Structure 1
């Protein structure tokens, strides 16, 4: 009798165990993407004095190493945008401008918000509707988008292969020149490579 009950319960227990493992992996991946977005924004906002293509590429190279456990290089995309306030003649912030944008990762995905450099974004700034963020007067902001196509641990029959995303923003600190210098290796958003 016990053997029959065990045989009947085993498929349910195995299914629950595998589903739980897949849910835990998805939660881990989501947390990892949030960490990568935050660390990218923080690292690039901390580059002092001036910033160049090479500085951004080096920072993204280091961040991609953190994404290796989830194969972010091949299945993801990091989009870094520099946001500057636009001032009127009286010195009041009236708009926000996408100053420059750089990308890394093989996933073919563009920014969900804006992709044209030197474009005004509106006074509310950049980000998802209802959660936009803007740079303050006398400051600039680094806004990071991370996109990732989820790769299942066990099977796509549990949750599929959803597109996951994370956003983060940090104010630029100790940098007086925010125009992106052309020195170093560029990471244009028209290139999709690991």
Structure 2
């Protein structure tokens, strides 16, 4: 009822004008579709950010394996270079730096393993292993020494295409984990952990068993222990 007018005194012309008035239609339509548009926009933003982060995690795995494969290179052809703890720490620190935009150090874990062939028994084994990042994850293939101790190690990687080292060489095998931190909580994306793997054969001759270094790395004071 219009205030001040009884039903008998309503102006028919006013009622017709109100019925024909469409000036608020757009506002009403916007109010109806805005929640849908907002939800789709937020969901699209979340998916795009997740895809970008997942790609960057994969790039960390590739870059660590690539950089580790170049360690110990030298121009002195008469000396086989060794790998130093400080060099490995530099590679691992680079992974944390590469993932700093999405706080990889706090929510991620990079595991670098040197897959080799034991010269005495001929078995595949993890000669040394280094880790960085605070996420609680261990290698899917075992810890340092796996293959010579513990279970038999038939290479590393997916079952249908295992990666194996060849005698007198090594494969730098990297596993990277990242606990995804969504932009909007669990509104659109369930809690999940990304995992990527990468492997590179060492580029040049490398002394895999330097004197006095049973685990294949010289130096001390590693900042990247897998403990």
Q: Conserved in 1, the CA contact under 8 Å of 2:82 and 2:218?
A: no
Query: How far apart, CA to CA, are the structure 2 residues paired with 1:110 and 1:168?
Result: 16
Higher relative contact order (CA 8 A, sep 6+): 1
Aligned residues: 186
Match of 2:115 in 1: 83
Q: Following TM superposition, by how much is the alpha carbon of 1:70 offset from its aligned partner in structure 2, in angstroms?
A: 1.0
Q: Following TM superposition, by how much is the alpha carbon of 1:2 offset from its aligned partner in structure 2, in angstroms?
A: 2.0
Aligned mate of 2:221, from 141, 166, 185: 185
Aligned mate of 2:126, from 75, 89, 98: 98
Match of 2:17 in 1: none
Secondary structure, aligned partner of 2:57: helix
Query: How far apart, CA to CA, are the structure 2 residues paired with 1:50 and 1:149?
Result: 34
- Structure-1-length-normalised TM-score: 0.87
Query: How far apart, CA to CA, are the structure 1 residues paired with 2:187 and 2:159?
Result: 31
- Structure-2-length-normalised TM-score: 0.75
Q: Following TM superposition, by how much is the alpha carbon of 1:154 offset from its aligned partner in structure 2, in angstroms?
A: 2.4
Query: In the superposition, relative to structure 1, how do residues 122 and 130 fare at CA in structure 2: closer, same or farther (>3 Å)?
Result: farther
- Structure with bigger gyration radius: 2
Query: How far apart, CA to CA, are the structure 2 residues paired with 1:184 and 1:13?
Result: 57
Aligned mate of 2:36, from 12, 16, 30: 12
Q: Following TM superposition, by how much is the alpha carbon of 1:63 offset from its aligned partner in structure 2, in angstroms?
A: 2.0
Query: In the superposition, relative to structure 1, how do residues 33 and 177 fare at CA in structure 2: closer, same or farther (>3 Å)?
Result: same
Secondary structure, aligned partner of 1:62: helix
Q: Following TM superposition, by how much is the alpha carbon of 1:130 offset from its aligned partner in structure 2, in angstroms?
A: 2.4
Query: How far apart, CA to CA, are the structure 1 residues paired with 2:186 and 2:67?
Result: 34
Q: Conserved in 1, the CA contact under 8 Å of 2:171 and 2:201?
A: yes
Query: How far apart, CA to CA, are the structure 2 residues paired with 1:166 and 1:183?
Result: 29
Match of 1:171 in 2: 201
For structure 1, the 5+ residue unaligned runs are: none
Alpha-carbon RMSD across the aligned residues, in angstroms, is 2.0
For structure 2, the 5+ residue unaligned runs are: 1-24, 74-80, 210-215
Secondary structure, aligned partner of 2:117: strand
